[in-house]
Amino acid sequence: MTDMTDKPMEERMDTSTTRTLPGQERFVAPVDETPLSDVDSIDESAPATNMWASAWKVLRRNPMFIISALLIVFILVVALFPGLFTRQDPNYCNLNDSLNPGSAGHPFGFDLQGCDVYTRVVYGTRTSLSVGVLATLLVVLVGSMIGAIAGFFGGWVDAVLSRLTDIFLALPILLGAIVVLQMFRTNGSIWKIILVMVLFGWVSTARIARGAVMEAKNLEFNTASTALGSTPLRNLMRHIIPNSLAPIIVVGTTSLGTYIVLEATLSFLGIGLPTTTVSWGGDISNAQAVLRTNPSVLFYPSAALAITVLAFIMMGDAVKNALDPKSRTE
């Protein structure tokens, strides 16, 4: 028997690597039969693409996105240009028209105070949409900055901001808004409602932003930027946050409908916008008195609220599917 120790090291390594048991033989095709250059070649004539271009390619083929986008565009037109849809004054009320059914020029009829329901639904779009959009923008801005700072710097900064986030996370946004608005019960305004929403609504965005930044700061582009002399703050603002926007945009789009509903809920409870401001929540609250006799007075502002919220939820789901690589099937 030949002693393996008497063989050179190269032969022993070759024997150990090529020895196979019966039934475990492997076939290796010759190099000339596997043209790897054709498999690994890159089409240099193809246009450059990125995550956003790929997402748009997916979105424009999604029927849910198309339907929600058309609804949102229509809602925006109604909010920005209500005069295109009605010539009536939403605050003009005539008790002689109280609870009258629909007629020419007044398709939705009149409420208990004799106000035109159709006109108030049209003008209420601006108020409800303004509160939802402004609250969402501020929530995304505040939450993203807090989450980005916590995730990027880590250490005691992350510990302090994370504990602060946990404190606000334990407070339900509706309950917190009711308590704060009852404590500072002054003349209501849109900005007061928006600031209360921001105070309790930034938590979820901060948690999403923190996780996205912690993932992005360990990628190669951050290391390369630091090696080229970029400061940590510049890396955060110029590279890390832009590459962490996808999940933040998704949560912002989905949350917009939530803030519209929250404004309507606060106005319904009588602690939101003042009664002189036309809003869907206020009209729904006023319609309680005639719910059994004239349910249509409640139906129209409720339907407008439901359609608007549904449009933004559908948009959020479509954007989420487009920006999530795991859910794409092409």
Question: CATH code at 222?
Answer: 1.10.3720.10
Q: Higher-confidence residue: 35 or 266? A: 266
Q: Higher-confidence residue: 86 or 17? A: 86
Q: What is the pLDDT of residue 289?
A: 81
* Residue 56 falls inside a structural domain: no
Q: What is the pLDDT of residue 67?
A: 93
Q: What is the pLDDT of residue 46?
A: 55
Q: What is the pLDDT of residue 1?
A: 46
Contacts of 101 (CB under 8 A, 6+ apart): 109
Q: How many CB atoms lie within 10 A of CB 134?
A: 18
Q: What CA–CA distances, in Å, run from 68 to 71, 134, 216, 308, 321?
A: 5, 20, 31, 9, 14
Q: Say if residue 4's pLDDT is above 50.
A: no
Q: Say if residue 37's pLDDT is above 80.
A: no
* Residue 46 falls inside a structural domain: no
Distance CA(141)–CA(151), nearest Å, equals 15
* Residue 45 falls inside a structural domain: no
Q: What is the pLDDT of residue 70?
A: 94
Q: Say if residue 326's pLDDT is above 50.
A: yes
How would residue 143 be classed by pLDDT, with cut points 50, 70 and 90?
very high
Taking residues 254-263, report their average pLDDT.
87
43-80 pLDDT per residue, tens: 555 555 666 777 788 888 888 999 999 999 999 999 99
How would residue 10 be classed by pLDDT, with cut points 50, 70 and 90?
very low
* Residue 53 falls inside a structural domain: no
Q: In this predicted structure, which of 185-194, 249-258, 311-320 has the lowest mean pLDDT? A: 185-194
Half-sphere exposure in the Cβ direction for 58 (13 Å, CA): 21
Q: What is the pLDDT of residue 13?
A: 44
164-180 pLDDT per residue, tens: 998 888 888 888 888 88
The tally of domains found in the chain comes to: 1
For residue 301 the two structure tokens come to 């502002």
* Residue 150 falls inside a structural domain: yes
Report the phi/psi class of residue 150: left, alpha or beta, with left for phi > 0 and alpha for psi in -120 to 50.
Answer: alpha
Q: What is the pLDDT of residue 34?
A: 59
pTM of the shown model: 0.76
Domain span at residue 323?
64-327
Taking residues 289-302, report their average pLDDT.
86
* Residue 15 falls inside a structural domain: no
Distance CA(267)–CA(279), nearest Å, equals 8
CA dihedral 86, 87, 92, 96 (to 10 degrees): -80
Q: Higher-confidence residue: 143 or 322? A: 143
Q: In this predicted structure, which of 23-27, 75-79, 86-90, 99-103 has the lowest mean pLDDT? A: 23-27
Q: What is the pLDDT of residue 16?
A: 45
Distance CA(151)–CA(211), nearest Å, equals 7
Nearest Cα neighbor of 123 from 164, 156, 82 is 82
Taking residues 268-293, report their average pLDDT.
84
For all residues of the chain together, what is the average pLDDT? Answer: 81
Three-state secondary structure string covering the chain: CCCHHHCCHHHHHHHHHHCCCCCCCCCCCCHHHCCHHHHHCCCCCCCCCCHHHHHHHHHCCCHHHHHHHHHHHHHHHHHHCHHHCCCCCCCCECHHHCCCCCECCECCCECCCCEEHHHHHHHHHHHHHHHHHHHHHHHHHHHHHHHHHHHHHCHHHHHHHHHHHHHHHCCCHHHHHHHHHHHCCCCCCHHHHHHHHHHHHHHHHHHHHHHHHHHHCCCHHHHHHHHCCCCHHHHHHHHHCHHHHHHHHHHHHHHHHHHHHHHHHHHHCCCCCCCCCCCHHHHHHHHHHHCCCCCHHHHHHHHHHHHHHHHHHHHHHHHHHHHCHHHCCC
* Residue 117 falls inside a structural domain: yes
Q: What is the pLDDT of residue 48?
A: 54
How would residue 142 be classed by pLDDT, with cut points 50, 70 and 90?
very high
* Residue 219 falls inside a structural domain: yes
